[in-house]
């Protein structure tokens, strides 16, 4: 658990609960969707592509009787051949030892080798591990779901089991309430109006990357990253200048598009998303540059903000 001085608030009830909860699992099981649902606003970016989340991000939910800091982590995967993949695995594993509770997310009706790998890696951690079966809305026959849990998952390995659909919200309130009651009595670690530990620059880069991932196809989204060089508030306007880094010259042309149409589309969609997040007018300017094989270069990763201390 991170050592943060509790925020001062004399109005907190004596039975106030506060603590850290990690959302872990293989890629694409809905960790980010669940956190956004719990927070009631978009914080972690979400796409249909696996490995959208690359860095840990905390979402802070404060209510009258508790504050829960949910840690969204990158999906853990077996094949970690490139430096970026190894980084994401390290970040996810580090969260195991920094929280009061771990929620292992899986997809209803599916238990893969990667799920088993994650479950086994949690066997030695000190924090309790609860199983959260997500996407139950995709399994209409509940008898099949129960059979799946009994035969494939071995739910006896987990302290508690919850069935949810993060996309629709089914079961999420029950999970939230149980989590909050489980956490220790404590004053809050963050001010009640703070909803994340990440900077506005980080959030801007993520929202731009989300639009790139949604617009581009196949493997290209995994070969790019976004670096915000300028973030200024002037005259009631947030001015954001960002570089989209790719690994090949050919990828640069794809991201720019014919006559710059792809980059213009991404810039427009990113501006709309940023204005919704910050509730302010935003101007976005994007450039595309090449950093050859950046995703397999430890030095480049640090340059682009992939710091395990963050």
Task: Kindly report the average pLDDT of the chain as a whole number.
Answer: 92
241 touches 285 (CB < 8 A): yes
| Burial bucket for residue 151 (CB in 10 Å: 0-12, 13-18, 19+) | exposed
Nearest to 86 by CA among 296, 237, 305: 296
Q: What is the full DSSP assignment across 51-120? A: T---S-EEEEEEETTEEEEEEE-PPP-S---SHHHHHHHHHHHHHTTS-SEEEEEEETTB--HHHHHHHH
**pLDDT for residue 309 is more than 70:** no
pLDDT tens digits for range 14-56: 789 999 999 999 999 999 999 999 999 999 999 888 889 999 9
**pLDDT for residue 4 is more than 60:** no
Looking at the chain, the number of H-run helices and the number of E-run strands are 9, 9
| Burial bucket for residue 167 (CB in 10 Å: 0-12, 13-18, 19+) | middle
pLDDT tens digits for range 135-174: 999 988 888 898 888 888 988 889 999 999 999 999 999 9
Residue identified by tokens 């200024």 is 232
Rounded to whole angstroms, the Cα distance separating 207 from 131 reads: 29
Read off the DSSP letter of residue 286.
E
- Beta pairing partners, 262: none
**pLDDT for residue 10 is more than 60:** no
Backbone phi, psi, residue 167, to 5°: -70, -40
pLDDT computed for residue 160 by the predictor = 95
pLDDT tens digits for range 46-82: 988 888 999 999 999 999 999 999 999 999 988 777 9
**Distance between alpha carbon 177 and the CA centroid of its chain, in Å?**
21
Superfamily of domain 200-303: K homology (KH) domain (3.30.300.20)
**pLDDT for residue 2 is more than 60:** no
State the span(s) of the chain assigned CATH 3.40.50.300: 17-182
State the span(s) of the chain assigned CATH 3.30.300.20: 200-303
The CATH number of the structural domain formed by 17-182 is 3.40.50.300
Higher-pLDDT residue of 52 and 1 is 52
């Amino acid at each position: 658990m991170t050592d943060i001085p509790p925020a001062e608030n004399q109005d907190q009830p004596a039975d106030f609960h506060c603590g850290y909860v990690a959302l872990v699992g293989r890629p694409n099981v809905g960790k980010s969707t669940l956190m956004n649902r719990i927070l009631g606003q978009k914080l972690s970016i979400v796409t249909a592509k696996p490995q959208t989340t690359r860095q840990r991000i905390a979402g802070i939910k404060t209510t009258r009787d508790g504050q829960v800091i949910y840690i969204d982590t990158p999906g853990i995967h077996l094949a970690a051949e490139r430096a970026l993949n190894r980084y994401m695995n390290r970040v996810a594993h580090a969260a195991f030892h920094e929280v009061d509770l771990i929620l292992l997310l899986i997809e209803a009706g599916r238990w893969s080798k990667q799920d088993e790998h994650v479950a086994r890696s949690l066997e030695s951690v000190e924090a309790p591990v609860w199983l959260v079966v997500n996407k139950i809305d995709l399994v209409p026959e509940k008898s099949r779901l129960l059979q799946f849990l009994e035969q494939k998952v071995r739910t006896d390995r987990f302290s508690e089991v919850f069935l949810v659909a993060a996309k629709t919200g089914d079961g999420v309130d029950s999970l939230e309430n149980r989590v909050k009651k489980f956490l220790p009595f404590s004053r809050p670690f963050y001010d009640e109006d703070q909803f994340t530990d990440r900077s506005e620059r980080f959030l801007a880069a993520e929202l731009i990357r989300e639009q790139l991932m949604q617009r581009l196809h196949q493997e290209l989204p995994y070969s790019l990253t976004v670096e915000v060089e300028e973030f200024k508030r002037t005259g009631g306007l947030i001015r954001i200048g960002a570089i989209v880094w790719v690994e090949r010259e050919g990828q640069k042309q794809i991201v720019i598009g014919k006559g710059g149409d792809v980059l213009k589309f991404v810039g427009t969609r990113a501006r709309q998303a940023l204005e919704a997040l910050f509730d302010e007018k935003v101007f976005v300017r994007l450039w595309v540059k090449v950093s050859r094989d950046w995703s397999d270069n430890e030095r480049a990763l640090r340059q682009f903000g992939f710091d395990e201390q963050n």
